[in-house]
Amino acid sequence: MRSRVHDEVRDNEGARGQLSASRRSASLPEAPLAGIMLRVTDFVAHYECDLPARADRVWRALTDPVELAAWFWPPTFGTAVTFDGASWRIAAVSPPMAASGTLLASAASDRLVWSWRWDGEDLVTTVTIRLAPAGDGCHLAVDHAGFHDQQASDDHAIGWRDCLARLNTRLAGERH
């Protein structure tokens, strides 16, 4: 049973995708979508997109602090990222916000798992990112788990959609 219907969305970068939110698993079309596919199930947000770069390039965009800071939040946020191999932190100057966590697992160029905690909050969630070859690029899937309510899942779904759209735009710009 779905608590909301699927909506076609266009993010700020113009990418098309599907955004849905539900308490129980909701099926999305199996056909490839341009842009980003998102769903939220049992307070676990799931995100997928095909990116115009090979997995090793996307891996670098996810794990190199300078690379991550360049696309994760909008440029006007003044984002800074620190990562020492075990702990990470991403912080914005304006608006003032930050999240941090610990790397829990990593498999060279295809899987990252880390804890996620927003500054000022007690809730610790888990982010799992998987990469797989897809044509000339790669397929990225994100599971962000551990939310206590639907609203938090919904809010993070929108945030991940926007972040992944910025990554897609950055990588597409490198191909020209």
What's the domain count of the chain?
1
pTM, whole model, 2 decimals? 0.77
Distance CA 154, CA 47 (A): 12
User: What average pLDDT does the segment 19-31 reach?
Assistant: 38
Give the tens place of pLDDT for each residue, 71-83. 999 999 999 999 9
Q: Give the closest residue to 126 by CA, choosing from 142, 106, 141.
A: 142
Alpha-helical segments (H) within the chain: 55-63, 65-71, 150-174
Residue 136 lies in a domain: yes
Task: Give me the pLDDT at residue 63, please.
Answer: 94
Distance CA 160, CA 90 (A): 14
Q: Give the closest residue to 141 by CA, choosing from 130, 133, 154.
A: 130
Distance CA 95, CA 93 (A): 6
Residue 23 lies in a domain: yes
Residue 167 lies in a domain: yes
Residue 17 lies in a domain: yes
Could you list the residue range(s) of the whole structural domain that residue 135 is in?
7-174
Residue 100 lies in a domain: yes
Task: Give me the pLDDT at residue 36, please.
Answer: 55
User: What average pLDDT does the segment 67-74 reach?
Assistant: 96
Residue 2 lies in a domain: no
Give the tens place of pLDDT for each residue, 118-145. 999 999 999 999 999 999 999 999 989 9
Residue 1 lies in a domain: no
Residue 123 lies in a domain: yes
pLDDT band, residue 54 (cuts 50/70/90): very high
Task: Give me the pLDDT at residue 157, please.
Answer: 82
Token reading at 175: 């191909």
State yes or no: pLDDT of 148 exceeds 60.
Answer: yes
The proportion of the chain whose per-residue pLDDT surpasses 90, expressed as a percent, equals: 59
The CATH number linked to 25 is 3.30.530.20
